[in-house]
């Protein structure tokens, strides 16, 4: 009934994507100041637990029950409630999308995306947001931003019916998280101490390596079975990340006379984010172009952020927001049915309509995520203060809120 090879592969990919959330905690934890390591890492691990609970209870049903084609969802924006608490999903249920894997495996794989996406946002407001406000935000953002776009793009909703493609999350994950992060930066405001520096670049490197490793499951696993498209997505992921890494390094080396390690690591993440929507739809020869574009555009976005003094502490908007935006647009350029018959032909293969749909869809997602996140934070602020006090910020989130320190400095 199930393809054992594809099922085993998808279990591995699901585990790899799960690993990305602790990896993100390391990446962000290393970039944070010494007083705020645990605060930012806690937010990732809380998402790991709480987003799982939400997904089991109602999230999966809102994303993957019903579709717009037969009118069984809610206006093409949300699924229905027929699979709440995984009602009707059993160990023998086959994932209807390809008939190759158990639906349980699909539930778990998609759950990992729901966990990681809101955790990405936290790097923008490190050491400024209270834990209570974050918990409310995490819950509301899933329902009002992640679930709708997941259903609209991947669950047979409005954008899917229109013909929009997103292989592994350029729209659903990176664009929405990145522009939500920018909205959070504008609402929360700048840090008191703007000269904060990373506490552990080696920890950032460990987090980057684990994220890169996990991204193979993120992208290749999004084919949901083992075939040529899977292999193409896997290799495209690595090639784009590598070209982005060197593009960022060269630009920074020329502009600042130093090839900084943090810049090299950031460039690789930019490449990984940018190739995500394209990975299984574009030919291998296009992956270096995507990587170079990622390194260039994301670097310029971070420079713009610095010039404008937008205090996106860990460059979530510049890397993930712009990466998701650029990658989705390039999908509209380079997509080829010769690579993936389930896809479309892009602009250079003669389908300008598909290119236009990708551009419109990603712009809508960016604007929606920005506006709804800002409004959401404004409402949460009426319930409980979103930003911590200046005293708490100076003391550090770790001690002031969590009562712990990352390092016992009195012990060798």
Contact, 294 vs 247, CB < 8 A? yes
pLDDT at residue 408, rounded to an integer: 78
CB 164 within 8 A of CB 346: no
Can you tell me the distance from the alpha carbon of 188 to that of 328, in angstroms, rounded to the nearest whole number? 28
Tokens of 325: 């935006």
pLDDT of residue 412: 46
Q: Which of 173, 203, 180, 194 minimizes the C-alpha distance to 128?
A: 194
pLDDT given for residue 410 in this prediction: 59
Dihedral sign for Cα atoms in the order 221, 10, 122, 145: positive
Quickly count: other Cβ atoms within 10 Å of residue 195's Cβ.
Answer: 6
Pair 83, 64: CB distance under 8 Å: yes
Say which CATH topology domain 4-400 has. Answer: Ammonium transporter fold (1.10.3430)
Number of residues that this document lists for the chain: 412
CA 32 vs. chain centroid, Å, equals 19
* Mean pLDDT per 10-residue section of the chain, whose length is 412 residues: 94 98 97 94 98 98 97 97 97 94 98 98 95 98 98 98 98 98 97 84 98 98 97 98 98 96 98 98 98 98 96 96 98 98 97 98 98 98 97 94 86 49
Burial of 405 by CB count in 10 Å (0-12 exposed, 13-18 middle, 19+ buried)?
middle
pLDDT at res. 366 = 98
Which three-class secondary structure state does DSSP give residue 309?
Answer: coil
Tokens for 225, please give them.
């079975």
Alpha-helical segments (H) within 36-102: 37-54, 60-64
CB neighbours of 242 closer than 8 A, spacing ≥ 6?
A: 268, 271, 291
Hey, which residues does 325 pair with through a beta bridge? none
Q: Which two tokens stand for residue 232?
A: 């193409």
What global pTM score does this model have? Answer: 0.96
Cα–Cα distance between 132 and 128 in angstroms, integer? 12
Other Cβ atoms within 10 Å of 378 Cβ, number: 11
């Amino acid at each position: 009934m199930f393809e054992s090879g594809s099922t085993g592969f998808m279990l591995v990919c699901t585990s790899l994507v799960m690993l990305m959330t602790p990896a993100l905690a390391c990446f962000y934890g290393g970039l944070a100041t010494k007083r705020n390591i645990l605060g930012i890492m806690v937010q990732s691990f809380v998402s790991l637990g709480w987003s799982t609970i939400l997904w089991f209870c109602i999230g999966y049903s809102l994303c993957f029950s019903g579709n717009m084609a037969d009118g069984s969802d809610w206006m093409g924006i949300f699924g229905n409630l027929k699979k709440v608490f995984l009602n009707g999903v059993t160990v023998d249920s086959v994932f209807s999308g390809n008939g190759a894997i158990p639906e349980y495996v699909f539930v778990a794989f998609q759950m990992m995306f729901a966990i990681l996406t809101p955790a990405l946002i936290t790097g923008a407001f490190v050491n400024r947001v209270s834990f209570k406000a974050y918990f409310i935000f995490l819950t509301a953002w899933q329902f009002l931003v992640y679930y709708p776009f997941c259903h609209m793009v991947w669950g047979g909703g409005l954008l899917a019916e229109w013909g929009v493609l997103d292989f592994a999350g350029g729209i659903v994950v990176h664009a929405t998280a990145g522009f939500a992060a920018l909205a959070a930066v504008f609402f929360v405001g700048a840090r008191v101490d703007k000269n904060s520096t990373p506490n552990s670049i080696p920890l950032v490197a460990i987090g980057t390596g684990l994220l890169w490793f996990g991204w193979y499951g993120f992208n290749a696993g999004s084919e949901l079975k083992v075939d040529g498209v899977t292999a193409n997505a896997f290799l495209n992921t690595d090639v784009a990340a590598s070209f982005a890494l060197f593009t960022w390094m060269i630009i920074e080396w020329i502009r600042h006379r130093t090839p900084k390690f943090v810049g090299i690591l950031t460039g690789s993440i930019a490449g990984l984010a940018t190739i995500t929507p394209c990975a299984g739809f574009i030919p291998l020869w296009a992956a270096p172009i995507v990587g170079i574009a990622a390194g260039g555009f994301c670097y310029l976005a971070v420079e713009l952020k610095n010039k404008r003094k937008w205090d996106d502490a860990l460059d979530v908007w510049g890397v993930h927001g712009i990466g998701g935006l650029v990658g989705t647009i390039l999908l509209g350029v380079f997509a080829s049915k010769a690579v993936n018959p389930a896809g479309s032909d892009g602009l250079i293969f003669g389908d300008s309509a598909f290119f236009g749909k990708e551009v419109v869809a990603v712009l809508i997602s960016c604007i929606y995520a920005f506006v709804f996140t800002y409004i959401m934070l404004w409402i949460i602020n009426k319930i409980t203060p979103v930003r911590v006090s200046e005293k708490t910020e100076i003391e550090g989130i770790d001690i002031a809120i969590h009562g712990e320190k990352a390092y016992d400095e009195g012990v060798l």
